[in-house]
Structure 1
Amino acid sequence: MTYALRRAGAGTRKALFLAACGVVVPVASVWFWDREDFREVCEGEGRPQVLKRALADGVFLNSGTSNSFGMRYLHDEGFSWIEAPSIYRRNKWVRYEKQADGKITTTEIDSLTARYEVREVFSQPFGHTGLMQTQVVDRETGEVMARAGKANFDGGKAKWFLGAWGSSYCPSAMHSSEDFRAFYHLAKDTLRSGQKQGR
C-alpha cells in the first residue's frame, strides 16, 4: 500500500501515515463494535444485584472449584459449612465444616441439607464474550435471590491484530471496585446479613 501511494505522488511520510490509517481505522472500528456488545453484557447481566436477603450458616456450593477456591466461603465469608458435589464419586455429596480450631473436616453425605445454593453458571452471550454468573438461589422456592457476573472479552474479530491488548474483563478492581467487591462477596452480602433464619 505504501508503494502504491508513493507511486501516486504521496511523500514517504504521508504514504506511511495513510497506509497506517488504512489498517488501524478498520481494525479499531471492528474492535469498538464488538466491545460495545461486551459492555452491554457487563451493564446488564454482569452488574451485581441482591434482590432478597436471609441468614444461613451454610450453603450448597454448586461449583467445580468447591474443594479448592470454595474454601474461602469458610475462611473469609463467614459460613460455618458448605455442601458440594463429591469430586471422587458421582451423585454423592460432601460437607466441609470449619471447626473451632480453624481446621476443615470433610464428611460424605447422602443428600443435601442446605436450603440456599450458590450456583455458578457459564454462558457465552457472544462469540467473543464469556460470562460466568454467580447466583444465590433458594432451593425450596427456586427463587434467585442475588446474581452477579464476571465477563471476559477476547478482543473479538480484531484479536489476531491486537492480542492481549484488545481483551478486557469486568468487573475490574481497578475501574469498578464496588462491583468487583459485590461480585466476590455476593453470597456473604446475601446470606450473612439478613433477618430470616435459614438452614
Structure 2
Amino acid sequence: MEHCTAHATLRHGHNVTGVRNLWDNSIGSVTCLRLTGADECEVWAECGVERTLQELAALHVLPSCPCHHPPSLPYRPSLPDPLRQAHYRWVVVSDRERIDVYHRGAHTCIRSLVTASSLAAQTCCYDSDRRLLTRGSGSASPALVSPQVDPELHWRVDVLPWLACRGNFLRYQEVRPPNNERGCPTNPDDATYRRQLYVATDY
C-alpha cells in the first residue's frame, strides 16, 4: 500500500493541476486502481490519497441536499441553504448523465455548481415522489471534482472508484457517504433497501 500514500501536501489545493498531479503520482497508473489481483475497491478505500482528495475538496463548504427536489429547477437555479445561510446554484443532471447506471432507482438528480471555495460539487438524487434518496443504489455522493471543472479528471477521481467497486454502492458509500445534513427522512424504506443490498453484493 506504500504506493497509495499521498506524496504531496497541497495547501492551496483548489486547482485542477494540483489534484491531477496528486492523482497521477499515486493512483493513475499501476498503483491504487490497477493492482493486478487486488480487490481494487478495497485498495481505493484504504488509499491515503483518497483522504487527501476529500480534504482538498473541502466538502464542508458544499451546499446540503434539499429534502425534496426543488420545484423551481431549472427555471430558478439559485436556492437558499438554511444550514450554510447562503444561496447556491444547482443544475439538473439526470437529463444528461446515466443515472440508470450510477444511481439505479433514482428518478432525478441535481448537482451544485462550483464556487470559489472548492472544485467539488454536491450531488443529490430523488425518487419519483421528489423525496431525497438518503441511502441505497439511487442515492448520490459529492463529486470531489465537478465535471463542470474538468470532465476527464471527474471521471478519474469520482467515476473510476465506483467502477472499481463494481457497482457495490455500500462499499463506495462507506468512503463517500451521501449527504443528509438536513436530517431528511430515511429513503428508501427497509424492504427496498434490502433488495438493493442483495443486488449490489451479487453484482
Which structure ranks higher in relative contact order (CA pairs < 8 Å, sequence separation ≥ 6)? 1
Q: Return the structure number with greater strand share.
A: 1
What's the TM-score, normalizing by structure 2? 0.28
TM-score by length of 1: 0.28
Which of structures 1 and 2 has the bigger CA Rg? 1
